[in-house]
Amino acid sequence: MSTNQAPCPLSYAFDALMLPPGVSIEKTKRSKMTYTCKLCGACFARNSNVKRHVKEVHVNLRIYECEHCFSDFSTKRNLLRHKQAVHEKKKPWSCDECDYQGQEQWILNSHKRRKH
Ligand SMILES: [Zn+2]
Ligand SMILES: [Zn+2]
Ligand SMILES: [Zn+2]
């Protein structure tokens, strides 16, 4: 194996973000499990944590994270819909002509078109 490591794909994502002038770009990885924010040097165990940190702290993007599967959502509504559909298995759209329930309105509508 050569000592040249393949560039981390995340580096490119970060470089695409606006770097304030004078900020040094840290490439330090203390171990394979340590990911460093290039903007402030904070260390994280997971690269998804760095991604969220950069978005929240440096880009001021509000991220809503599902506590069950750590998916990110840009709006609280999307997170709630995801949690209800995936984790709570809630199917809020119920057919008024039978017992069928659907996760989304369009699913219920297609059920009605096919079955009734
Ligand atoms: Zn940072
Ligand atoms: Zn989830
Ligand atoms: Zn029905």
Which pLDDT score is estimated for 39?
Answer: 87
What is the reported pTM?
0.36
Under 8 Å CB-to-CB from 47, ≥6 apart: which residues?
8, 10, 35
Distance 65 CA to ligand 2 centre (A): 8
pLDDT reading at 96 higher than 60: yes
The yes-or-no verdict on residue 92 having pLDDT over 80 is: no
Reading the block at residue 104, the tokens are 């989304």
Q: Which ligand is nearest to the CA of 93?
A: 3
Ligand nearest to the backbone CA of 44: 1
pLDDT at 25 over 50: no
- The rounded mean pLDDT for the chain is 76
Domain residue ranges in the chain:
7-59
Looking at per-residue pLDDT, the higher value among 29 and 61 belongs to 61
* 107 phi, psi to nearest 5 deg: -65, -45
Q: How far is the CA of 97 from the centre of ligand 2 (A)?
A: 31
Ligand nearest to the CA of 81: 2
